[in-house]
Amino acid sequence: MSSIFSKIISGEIPSYKIAENEDFLAFLDINPLAKGHTLVIPKKESDYIFEMENDEYSKFWLFAKNIAKALRKTQACKRIGVAVIGLEVAHTHIHLVPINAVYDIDFSKPKLKLSPEELSKIAKDIKAAL
């Protein structure tokens, strides 16, 4: 079953891309917990992270690690928080969230409302730091 992420991968739905290779894609969350909140997804449809093949799983986390390093260089934060929940969208994904305290990664709190211009600038800055 095609998810919203599959539509982003195909270009059917636009996104603020951070990085992309043959297997993975990273893009800004349009309903972020913090500026720079990024989603990292495999291009191959997968509903549950722990059902990924070992090699693909390892490469997925290495791809996410590189994105997290760029996020930390460009966003004012102490750490990059990581969350894998897997209930809202039926497509494996990692949330990378710039945080200064543990409550900064509370998904029940209100999301930021950023303009397209702000999102574009954040994406450009992160890409430049890769």
95 is catalytic: no
Give the residue from 12, 43, 11 showing the smallest Cα distance to 26. 43
Question: Where in the sequence numbering do the catalytic residues fall?
Answer: 93
